[in-house]
Amino acid sequence: MNTILIGLQWGDEGKGKVIDILSKDAAFVVRYQGGNNAGHTVVVDGVSFVFHLMPSGILHPEKTCVIGNGVVVDPAVLLEEMQTIEKKGITMDGRLKVSEQAHVIFPYHRILDGLREKKRSNKIGTTGRGIGPCYADKAYRCGIRMGDLLNKRLLKEKLKDNLKEKNEIFKKVYRHRGFSFEELYEGYLAYGRRLKAFICDTSVLLNEATAAGRPILFEGAQGTFLDIDFGTYPFVTSSNSVSAGACTGTGVPPTKIDKVIGVVKAYTTRVGEGPFVTEFSKALNEDIRSKGNEFGATTGRPRRCGWFDAVMVRHAVQLNGVDSLAMMKLDVLDQLKSLKICVAYRYKGKIVKQFPNDLEFVKNAKPVYKEFSGWKTNVSKIRSYDKLPVQARDYISYIEDICQAPVHIVSVGSGREETLFR
C-alpha cells in the first residue's frame, strides 16, 4: 500500500513522529518537496532526532529512504545530517537514494533569500535557507540538478551561465560582491564525488517498487496552508506541500496512491508572518508554547499558537483527499478548563464556513467558536483511546464530524509509546 502523510495546518503538526511509527510497515520512505527549511523531530527511547532533509524512516533498519525530484537539496546540509546520524550509530548502508533530478541549493540562493527579505516592506518570514530562490531557478529553467554535480562539463557550463547573470544582480541591485566561479565549481564537484553513490533515477526505483508490491510512505514537509498554490499566499513555502505534490515530486502516478493520512495538532500553530484567525492571547500563547515546546525544529523560532481551526482543516481534508486523521499533542491541552474550536469566520457582518482565498478577508476575519469543557487530567500515561476522559473524546468526536474525517491516531506525548490507535 502506498500512503501519503500530509500536514493539514501550517506545518509543525508532528508529522515526524507519525512517519516514524508508520515506517515499520513501509519498504520505502520518501521526501517529495521542500528542503532543509523543514524540520521533523522524532523521539526514540528519550533520544531526539531532528531531520531537515533525511526522511524520518532512516531510523528503521532495512528501510530505503528517498529524496525525490521535488526536493531542493543543499549538499552541505545533507552531508552534515548523514554524518550526524551515523555518529548516533545509524548506518546508511545503501539505504539512502537521492534523485538525480532534484535541484541544488547554492550559496547565492541563501544570500539572495536574505537580501530579498530585507528589501520587502511586508516580510514573508523566510527561513533564509535559499529554498525559494532555488525553486525560482527551477522555474526559470536555469537550475542545477544533483545529476549535474557528476558531470564536470555540464556543471561548468550551467554554473558560469548562472553567475554571469546573478553576479550582475548582486552587485548592481544589492551592492553585494557576488561569488567566485572557481570556489563554487570545485566545492560542488567535491560534493558530487561524495554523494555519487546515492544519486540515481529515483522515479524508476519507486515505480519498480510499486510494481513489485513494496509499500511506499510519502513524507510531506510543511503543511497544506503553506502550499504555494493553496496556502495563505504569499505567506507560504515555495513548493506544493499538498498530497498531489507527492506525485509530481517523485514520478509515482496518482493511480498508484492508496491512502492519504492528514496530521493535525489538537490546537493550531504557525511560524513566521501571516494571518492567524484563532491566535491565542499573549498569556495563553506563552503558556501553550511552553507546555508544547513550540519552537521551530529548523530555526528555533517561537511558534504562534491558537485554538483548533476547523474551517482550515475541513478545507485541507477536501484538498488532500484525506482518508483519516492523526491528532497530535492532545496532552498539551490537559490543564485547560475549557477549549474552543473555530467553526466559522465572521467578516463585515457575514458568517463564512468555507476557507477564503482573499488575504484581506483572512487577516481581518474574527473566529466563531464552539466551546467545550476541558478534562483537567494528565492523559500522557493513557494507552487506550477508550480510557481517555469523556471530555477529550467529545472534543475529538466533534472534530471528526465537522472536518469530515475519522481520527485513527491520537498522540499524548512525544515518545513512540505515547500513541493511541483506534
Q: What is the pLDDT of residues 325-353, one digit of tens each?
A: 999 999 999 999 999 999 999 999 999 99
Residue 303 DSSP label: P
Across the range 224-253, mean pLDDT stands at: 96
Determine the pLDDT at residue 56: 84
pLDDT at residue 14 tops 80: yes
pLDDT at residue 5 tops 90: yes
Nine-digit cell at 317?
Answer: 481534508
Element (H, E) at 181: helix 181-195
pLDDT at residue 380 tops 70: yes
Q: How far is the C-alpha of 265 from the C-alpha of 225, rounded, in Å?
A: 14
Instruction: State pLDDT tens for residues 180-215.
Output: 999 999 999 999 999 999 999 999 999 999 999 999
Determine the pLDDT at residue 39: 72
**Which positions are annotated as active-site residues?**
12, 40
pLDDT interval class at 92 (50, 70, 90): confident
More confident residue, 39 or 119: 119
Helices of type H across 239-355: 245-248, 282-291, 310-320
Determine the pLDDT at residue 301: 83
pLDDT interval class at 297 (50, 70, 90): low
Determine the pLDDT at residue 128: 86
Give the global pTM.
0.94
For 317, what's the count of Cα atoms within 13 Å in the CB-facing half-sphere? 21
Is 95 in contact with 58 (CB distance < 8 Å)?
yes
Element (H, E) at 209: helix 202-211
Across the range 125-147, mean pLDDT stands at: 94
Fill in the amino acid letter for 263. Answer: V
Mean pLDDT, rounded, of the chain: 94
229-232 long-range contacts (CB < 8 A, ≥24 apart) are 230/319, 232/10, 232/274, 232/275, 232/359, 232/362
Nine-digit cell at 91?
Answer: 548506518
Determine the pLDDT at residue 46: 72
Is 71 in contact with 43 (CB distance < 8 Å)?
no
More confident residue, 415 or 44: 415
Nine-digit cell at 203?
Answer: 522515479
